Amino acid sequence: MTPKTETELAAAIAAATGPLHITGGGTRPIGNPVRGTTLSTAKLNGIILYEPGALTMVVQAGTPVADIEKALAKENQRLAFEPMDHRPLLGTKGTPTIGGIVAANVSGPRRVAVGACRDHMLGVRFVDGRGTIIKNGGRVMKNVTGYDLVKLLSGSYGTLGVLSEVSLKVLPRPDCSATITTAIDDDSRAVAAMSAALGSPFEVTGASHDPATGQTHLRIEGFAGSVAYRSDKMSALMAPFGIVRVTDNTQDSEAIWVAIRDVTAFADQQGDVWRLSLKPSDAHGVVAGLSKMGALYDWGGGLVWVLTTAGHNLRAELGDASGHATLIRASAETRAALPAFHPENATVTALSAGLRAKFDPRAILNSGVMG
């Protein structure tokens, strides 16, 4: 089913007699396997409102991300949360949609500085499991009118409702980008270096470490003079950690971060891919204790991508570290055997189940995708 309007979407859900598999562009098959009739939002397509002076955009959920980025680029603006393109890593084809990004709360390297996708969400319209159209939030930057279902829907993988429209906070695209790369062999020193950088006043908008190459990357963005000044400061701050190299050509710098964002290092390698959210200073200790074929640090150590042999239960090796592990890429058998999402405490599990039962009483929306 590919409804063309929100009304058609609501009617389709109300009339559904069995489980539905909700999809946008189908480029992010993350989560436990889902059965059901495919319901695609791809035809809910178009930018409804864009006010560059107010930093806001309202779009239909099925709008291709590329269309949004093109419209923003014309006004020298962007989606600051830097959503990852999962296609290289997951080997998927198709057109990523904004609804998919919001449903999976997809956020890239800049998340460490400006927040996640959910932090740039101003409003939603969605259809719940009964076929009721619900709106929440709006299109203004500050809004505390009623409960924040906008955050709840972001990252709910279609299980509470099918998004029909989202409104986003957008931000100016800076003129320049520079990357400060430091040669650091030891993961623990790399995390310490990233903490020093993120704890400085020089507004680092990316902090990533690749153990395979022994390189720690830091990103600085802004107006030319400011970027030059802060790059110098950052180089001086990093000098005690290793040999420093600066990529001050904006295009070259941006290319480094596209690769980090899309985890292209693991794209052509066999094996499962896990995504760990950790307290940065715990990260190297946790990673050292894992059976793995590779690791990649982002968010200053707050996010670690791990490559393992197929079918390996990485979660069992985490111990009691604060954080969680999500299985992002694995074969169908592994995904059927290992839950994609990290188990939560009993109260949170009960509350989540209670919310799903309220929003989708027939359990027909992407049922079981999050466990």
Closest to 128 (Cα-Cα) out of 216, 227, 6, 233:
6
Look at the block and give the residue holding tokens 């409003």: 123
Residues from 329 through 368 that contact other proteins (CB under 8 A): 341-345, 347-349, 351-352, 354-355, 358-359
Q: Is 189 helix (H, G, I), strand (E, B) or coil?
A: helix
Least CB distance to other proteins at residue 356 (A): 8
Judged by CB under 8 A, which of 75, 186, 248, 262 binds other proteins?
75
Q: Is 148 in the site for other proteins (CB under 8 A)?
A: yes
Residues from 17 through 46 that contact other proteins (CB under 8 A): none
Q: Is 201 in the site for other proteins (CB under 8 A)?
A: yes
Cβ closest to other proteins, residue 49 vs residue 243: 49
| CA separation for the pair 282, 41 (Å, rounded) | 40
Q: Is 111 in the site for other proteins (CB under 8 A)?
A: yes
Residues facing 20 on adjacent strands? 37, 365
Q: Is 142 in the site for other proteins (CB under 8 A)?
A: yes
Terminal-residue alpha carbon distance, the chain: 24
Cβ closest to other proteins, residue 64 vs residue 301: 301
| CA separation for the pair 291, 306 (Å, rounded) | 10
Cβ closest to other proteins, residue 128 vs residue 210: 128
Least CB distance to other proteins at residue 225 (A): 5
Q: Check if the beta carbon of residue 106 is closer than 8 Å to that of residue 155.
A: no
Residues from 202 through 231 that contact other proteins (CB under 8 A): 222-223, 225-226, 229
| CA separation for the pair 138, 150 (Å, rounded) | 9
Q: Check if the beta carbon of residue 126 is closer than 8 Å to that of residue 153.
A: yes
Determine the interface stretch with other proteins among 65-73, 83-91, 113-121, 266-274 (rule: CB under 8 A): 113-121
Determine the interface stretch with other proteins among 22-30, 83-91, 106-114, 329-337 (rule: CB under 8 A): 106-114
Determine the interface stretch with other proteins among 147-155, 177-185, 239-247, 327-335 (rule: CB under 8 A): 147-155
Using CB under 8 A as the binding criterion, the count of chain residues that bind other proteins stands at 85
Q: Is 199 in the site for other proteins (CB under 8 A)?
A: yes
Least CB distance to other proteins at residue 270 (A): 27
Question: 125 vs 93, 132, 135, 166, CA distance in Å?
Answer: 27, 10, 4, 6
For the chain, what is the radius of gyration of the CA atoms? 21
Q: Is 267 in the site for other proteins (CB under 8 A)?
A: no
Judged by CB under 8 A, which of 17, 53, 270, 319 binds other proteins?
53
Check residue 64 and report its DSSP letter: B
Determine the interface stretch with other proteins among 37-45, 86-94, 289-297, 320-328 (rule: CB under 8 A): 320-328
Q: Is 278 in the site for other proteins (CB under 8 A)?
A: yes
Q: Is 323 in the site for other proteins (CB under 8 A)?
A: yes
Residue 241 CB neighbour total at 10 angstroms: 19
| CA separation for the pair 266, 306 (Å, rounded) | 9
| CA separation for the pair 275, 332 (Å, rounded) | 18
Least CB distance to other proteins at residue 271 (A): 22
DSSP H stretches of helix in the chain: 6-15, 65-74, 87-90, 98-103, 111-114, 149-153, 187-198, 224-238, 250-261, 280-288, 332-337, 346-359
Judged by CB under 8 A, which of 195, 235, 264, 334 binds other proteins?
195
Least CB distance to other proteins at residue 221 (A): 11
Least CB distance to other proteins at residue 110 (A): 12
